[in-house]
Chains A and B, each alone.
Chain A
Amino acid sequence: MNSKLFAFVLLTISAAGLHSAAASDVSVIIKNFDYSPMDLNIAAGTTVVWKNLDGEPHTIASTDGMFRSPALDQNDSYSFTFNRPGVFKYICSIHPKMKATITVK
């Protein structure tokens, strides 16, 4: 029991540590063949982290070629830091019906 409690405390500490390290990151969840949020507004310098929760792989491919993830299997993540302002549209290159936009200010 003590060891379980200790593990729980450790986990809590490490989770908190991860959270503070990634406080400036913004996450996009991929689920049920959609990006959520579909329209994201961020400040320049922000890192966006996509995570795929679907059993089917997806990609993050900008239509202007600026960023392109490998195929993300279930629970895989991909991140990209947006350093310059602009409107960046992207699709899933495997399921191009999936579309989303990131606006950087």
Chain B
Amino acid sequence: MTDTSRRDALKCLGVGAGTLFTLSGGVFSAFDMAEAAPADMGTPLFLQISDTHIGFNKEANPDVMGTLNRTIDAVNAMPHAPAFALHTGDVTHLSKASEFDTASQLLSRLKVGELHVVPGEHDVTDGPGAEFFARFGKASNNRGYYSFDSQGVHFVALVNVMNFKANGLGALGEDQLGWLKDDLSGRSASQPIVVFAHMPLWTIYEPWGWGTGEGEQIAALLRRFGSVTVLNGHIHQIVQKVEGNILFHTARSTAFPQPQAGDGPGPGPLVVPPAQLPGMLGVTMAVAGSKRRLSLNDTTLA
């Protein structure tokens, strides 16, 4: 795709049945699936699921278990299963043990080899996140942040919901930022990087805390790489930005939508007519195609 067509395609985001991203020349480009479903979809690489909010039962969606189950059914029905899934946080609504138990039970139905989970602020409302780390702490030796490689791509899990600063933005803290620097140093700039964390790692809307305080420092560590994808949740809608070789992307929730930035008193659950709800919930699928192409495909429950 040319730069012009990519820009045109970006305008289509958030509408239609889904959005497809293609890695081409080191930069993700995007187009609306409804208009341009590619002949070569390739093999699913991984799934991003986010903001399942098990325990939520209010008007915006009285049945978050049901919508998660439908999401899982849709993923499991795909002809090729993704190798693993990333959950970008807010597994639960209130950090309760019973909510984590239910969520773990439901998510275990996903036909994926592994589930990688980073916490959202709803998962650690007790402070240290005891229930979260009891279930998902092993991969990171209970730090929360860790990295792994899969199919030539380097994946980095970050935690930005446990060090809130006075400005309300998410934060990594010095230890984690130092770790990230070490983790990335010495890596070939040609290795594709995928970074995932709950809150957006770039500032989408500061008054609602939709961003991360060290966003600029994080971006500075990532800029030298030819292909970087930053996957977040938290805001329950697709918002994205391309900056150089970095694609920033937030996923939909499987539980309930939230208002667009600044629309209303705060980022609470958005009540929509029931018929509209499935179109506002969904997951992101990353697809590894031929010739080192990598795509992100956002699908809804509609």
Binding site for B on A (CB under 8 A): 32-34, 54-57, 59, 61, 68, 70-71, 73-74, 91, 93-97, 99
Contact = CB atoms under 8 A, between A and B. Distances in A.
A73 B166 CA distance: 23
Contacts, number: 61
A61 B209 CA distance: 17
B125 interface: yes
Nearest to A93: B125
A96 B93 contact: no
B126 interface: yes
A91 B207 CA distance: 15
Contacts of A56: 266-269
A55 B269 contact: yes
Interface of B: 58-60, 93-95, 121-122, 125-127, 164-168, 207-209, 265-269
B125 A94 contact: yes
Contact of A71 (B59, B122, B266, B269): B122
A95 B168 contact: yes
A33 B268 contact: yes
18 contacts: A54-B268, A55-B58, A55-B60, A56-B266, A56-B268, A59-B125, A68-B127, A70-B94, A71-B95, A91-B164, A93-B121, A93-B127, A94-B125, A95-B168, A96-B166, A96-B209, A97-B207, A99-B166
Given A70-B125, A93-B121, A55 B164 contact: no
A104 to B, nearest CB: 22
Given A93-B121, A95-B267, A96-B209, 12 more contacts: A32-B265, A55-B60, A55-B268, A56-B266, A94-B122, A94-B125, A95-B266, A96-B164, A96-B165, A96-B166, A97-B208, A99-B166
A61 B162 CA distance: 13
A96 B268 CA distance: 14
Nearest to A96: B164
